[in-house]
Structure 1
Amino acid sequence: MTPLRSIIACSILVLQPVAGHAASGDWASTDHVAIRLLAAQPAPGAPLQAAIEIVLDPGWKTYWRTPGDAGIPPRFDFSGSRNAGGASVAFPAPERSDDGFSVSNVYHDRVVLPVSFADSDPSKPVRLELTANLGICADVCVPIDLAATLDVAPGAPDDGAMAAITAAHAALPGPGRAGAFEVTTLRRVGGSDKAPEFEVEVATPDPAATALFVEMPPDWYPAPPEAETASAGPARYRIAVDRKTATTPLDGAVLRLTMTSAGEAATRAFRLGADGTATPLAE
């Protein structure tokens, strides 16, 4: 059995049955990566839930929605689907990869991305058609295109798919635990409008084991966050941003911070004001 097929087999075996109706698609694969679609209707008349399952050969990685210094952001196109419009893909928190030249935000081995649809009639069959554009890397990076399909009849049983989708939703970053594990504040602390600097404060029991991931407008280029403290209590990070070629204004820009530690993940978005203040946004 090849390494990739071994990972695929394990991804199926670890799932525990739960009640519900769902379906699993066939694997679509190329060298070092495979994807498939999962879909579920948790209860009669409930909205359609779906997921994209990605498995990679050992030593290979693919990228988060915000790749970091280097990498290819994933693109997922469901426009060919029937009775499944308005697809929105969610992402669990990534890992940080530093190769000595660049710092990237990645996934290894296996990741399941939940997908929701704004427009789907639960009483009618669904056909999901996905075109995925991914970057995968080991020593070199390779752009790949894969297509996957899945037909879902109302009430089709597949407890394994239901379990995978449920686990994928549970793995998404939430608001965290108030006062114990959360992103608490974001503030601008210096720099020019073309090169502003921000400070982020987080609550975490283990600052040394905590990683912070930054998402900003696409024409802003943040450096990896630098930890300012490593003792117990609130941890602070400083983020320098290159806006020399940016057209997205500071006023009104939305910045998202995601933190991870010991298997936990929390996220919070902020909107910048004209005076440099940052207001938390309701999720």
Structure 2
Amino acid sequence: MITRRLLTAGLLAAPALARAAPPRIAVAGGGVAEMLCALGLEASLCGVDSTALHPARLRALPQLGYQRALSAEGILSLRPDMLVHAHEAGPPPVLAQLRAAGLPLLPVPRIADAWQLIAAITALGEALGVDPAPVTRALAADFAALTAMLPGGPPPRALFLLSAGNGAPQASGRGTAAAAMFGLARIRNVVEGYEGYRPLSPEAALTLGADWLVAPRHSVEARGGEATFLAQPQLALLPAARAGRLYTQDSLYLLGFGPRSAHAARDMAGALRGVTLPPLPERPWL
């Protein structure tokens, strides 16, 4: 279904663009940029948004700003042949302005599991004239190995948090990248009553029974470090906070849903279970 959605998104010109040597591709979305690099298209990237942080050398490319706050003028000034973007990129009026200017757009839908990731990379490769099979075969093997290595028994219970400014931390419910990563790592998301993110209250936090707290590293650093993060009134009384059970990781590695996702899920699964899991193979995109 994802392949069909990608290839019917008004982008029938994409294979023709792929025959031009080389195409100039602007990218909005860190995970999408990782997919393109894994497909061997890094040399074609002419600009990336601020979430494209891996591989680190992408930071030297012209910047498009934040993927949710793109500028049509800034993108068009790079003279790209197309914009490949994550589902959340925008705002919509800017994407409409780019279409009106004649720039082909290739959207990558929301990815919520391993097979949707593989389907998205397959569709990107086909649309851009690159054989995706070496990447997708490797990813299929990685996810199969991940599934086989995860222990049975009751899964760890975890609460995923985002924190910005001095407000209450936002807790992840269903339908988020965080919830999807918990699914890959066979970790139970303790927030099941809503979709998306909502502010967490101290009272609600105490009812959730989380064994672990999980947060992107930038959210923890923005609060002044792990001790300050765990001392927030919404978290301070939780057994997990008092025991220092906080797992942090680079946000793109943890939530980007790119080709490193199996490795990220393996790392989180081992940490939250307190076990050393077998390593996954080294890949060129790591």
TM-score, structure 2 normalization: 0.23
The structure with the greater share of residues assigned to helix is: 2
The structure with the greater share of residues assigned to strand is: 1
